[in-house]
C-alpha cells in the first residue's frame, strides 16, 4: 500500500477567523458548508501568489457544469474540494496530485469535522481504491473491477449532516465498544470477500448484490438506517436488485447493482416504481478518471 500524508487539519482558531471574515463580508451566509472550504482553499493556495500593490483583488467564480445531489452521500463535497483544489493548484503552477488531494482533505475537514478522506481521494485519483484509515491512512489502487457493472442510484431526498451522523456513531461506539467492534469487523470481512472474489475473477452482479445486502444489515445495526432507505430497498428487492445505503446514511442515497440480465423494459419499470414513491433515481457506472486538467 502507498503511504498517504494529509495536510495538518485546520485549527479551531483558523475556522473561527474564516467564519468571522464571511460574516463581515456577507450580510447572511446561507451556504457556509461550501463557502468556508472555498475560502480556506483560496487562502491556502493563493498565499504563495504574488499580488501587485495596485491590484484590485482577484475575482473567483466557482460553479458546477452538471447538477448532482448535495448532502446525499455521493461525495459531492469531496468532489467539489478536489475540483477547486485542482483549479487553484493549476493557477499557481502546481499540478502535484498528492498535494491537491491533501489540501482537498483539509477542506473536507472544514466541512465535515472528521472525514474519512475516501471521497477526496477517489475524486482525485479515480478508478477503484482500497482505502484504509486506521491505524494510518493508506490506499492502494486496484484494477477497475466494477467498470462492467451498472448501478441504480436512488436519492431518498432526506438531507442530513455527515458530521452529525458520524458523531452519533462515535458516541454509540463509545457506549458499546464490544458490539460495535464486532460489527466493524463484519464489515471488514465483507470488504475482504469482495476483494478475493475480484482477484479470483468471480465477481458477478449476484455476488455484489449479496454483499450489499449483508452490509446493509450491519449498517442498520450500527444505527445509520432510515425508513426511507428501507422503502427504497424494499422496492428494489421486488426486481432482485440488491442495494445498500451509501455515504454516512440516515438518509441520502441508496445504491443498487442492476442485474446483468435486466432488460431495458424492466429497468424502466424499476425507475417508474421508484419515482412513483417520490424518489429520484438515475443509472450510473463506477470508476471515472478522477481529476483531469483541461
pLDDT tens profile 78-112? 999 999 999 999 988 888 999 999 999 999 888 87
Same domain, 121 and 235: no
Q: Report the domain count for the chain.
A: 2
**Confidence category of residue 130, pLDDT binned at 50, 70, 90:** confident
Whether the full predicted model's pTM is greater than 0.75, yes or no, is yes
Q: Is residue 292 part of a domain?
A: no
Give the Cα separation of 195 and 145 in Å (integer). Answer: 9
For residue 246, what are the β-bridge partners? 253
Q: Is residue 76 part of a domain?
A: yes
CATH number at residue 29: 3.30.230.10
Same domain, 222 and 191: yes
Same domain, 121 and 20: yes
Q: Give residue for cell 477517489.
A: 122
Same domain, 10 and 84: yes
Domain extent at residue 235: 151-284
Q: Which of 111, 142, 173 is the last residue of a domain?
A: 142
Q: Is residue 289 part of a domain?
A: no
What is the arithmetic mean of pLDDT over 58-72? 71
pLDDT digits (tens, 9 = 90+) for 132-173: 777 777 878 888 888 899 999 999 999 888 778 888 999 999
What is the arithmetic mean of pLDDT over 256-264? 96
Same domain, 71 and 158: no
pLDDT digits (tens, 9 = 90+) for 18-49: 888 887 766 555 566 678 888 889 888 887 66
Would you name the residues annotated as active-site residues? 119
Amino acid at each position: 500500500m502507498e503511504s498517504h500524508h494529509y495536510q495538518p487539519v485546520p485549527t479551531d482558531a483558523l475556522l473561527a477567523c474564516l467564519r468571522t471574515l464571511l460574516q463581515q463580508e456577507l450580510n447572511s451566509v446561507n451556504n457556509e458548508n461550501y463557502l468556508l472550504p472555498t475560502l480556506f482553499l483560496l487562502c491556502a493556495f493563493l498565499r504563495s501568489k504574488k499580488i501587485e500593490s495596485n491590484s484590485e483583488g482577484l475575482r473567483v467564480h466557482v460553479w458546477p457544469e452538471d447538477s448532482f445531489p448535495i448532502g446525499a452521500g455521493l461525495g459531492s463535497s469531496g468532489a467539489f474540494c478536489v475540483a477547486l483544489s485542482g483549479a487553484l493548484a493549476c493557477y499557481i503552477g502546481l499540478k502535484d496530485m498528492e498535494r491537491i488531494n491533501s489540501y482537498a482533505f483539509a477542506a473536507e475537514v472544514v466541512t465535515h469535522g472528521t472525514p474519512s478522506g475516501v471521497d477526496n481521494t477517489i475524486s482525485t485519483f479515480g478508478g477503484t481504491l482500497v482505502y484504509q484509515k486506521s491505524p494510518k491512512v493508506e490506499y492502494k489502487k486496484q484494477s477497475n473491477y466494477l467498470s462492467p457493472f451498472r448501478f441504480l442510484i436512488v436519492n431518498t431526498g432526506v438531507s442530513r449532516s455527515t458530521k452529525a451522523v458520524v458523531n452519533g456513531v462515535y458516541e454509540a461506539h463509545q457506549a458499546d465498544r464490544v458490539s460495535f467492534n464486532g460489527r466493524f469487523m463484519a464489515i471488514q470481512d465483507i470488504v475482504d470477500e469482495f476483494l478475493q472474489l475480484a482477484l479470483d475473477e468471480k465477481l458477478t452482479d449476484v455476488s455484489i448484490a449479496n454483499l450489499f445486502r449483508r452490509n446493509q444489515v450491519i449498517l442498520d445495526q450500527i444505527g445509520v438506517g432510515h425508513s426511507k432507505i428501507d422503502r427504497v430497498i424494499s422496492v428494489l428487492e421486488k426486481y432482485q436488485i440488491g442495494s445498500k445505503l451509501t455515504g454516512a446514511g440516515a438518509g441520502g442515497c441508496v445504491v443498487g447493482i442492476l442485474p446483468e440480465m435486466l432488460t431495458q423494459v424492466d429497468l424502466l419499470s424499476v425507475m417508474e416504481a421508484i419515482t412513483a414513491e417520490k424518489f429520484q433515481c438515475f443509472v450510473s457506472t463506477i470508476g471515472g478518471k478522477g481529476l483531469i486538467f483541461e
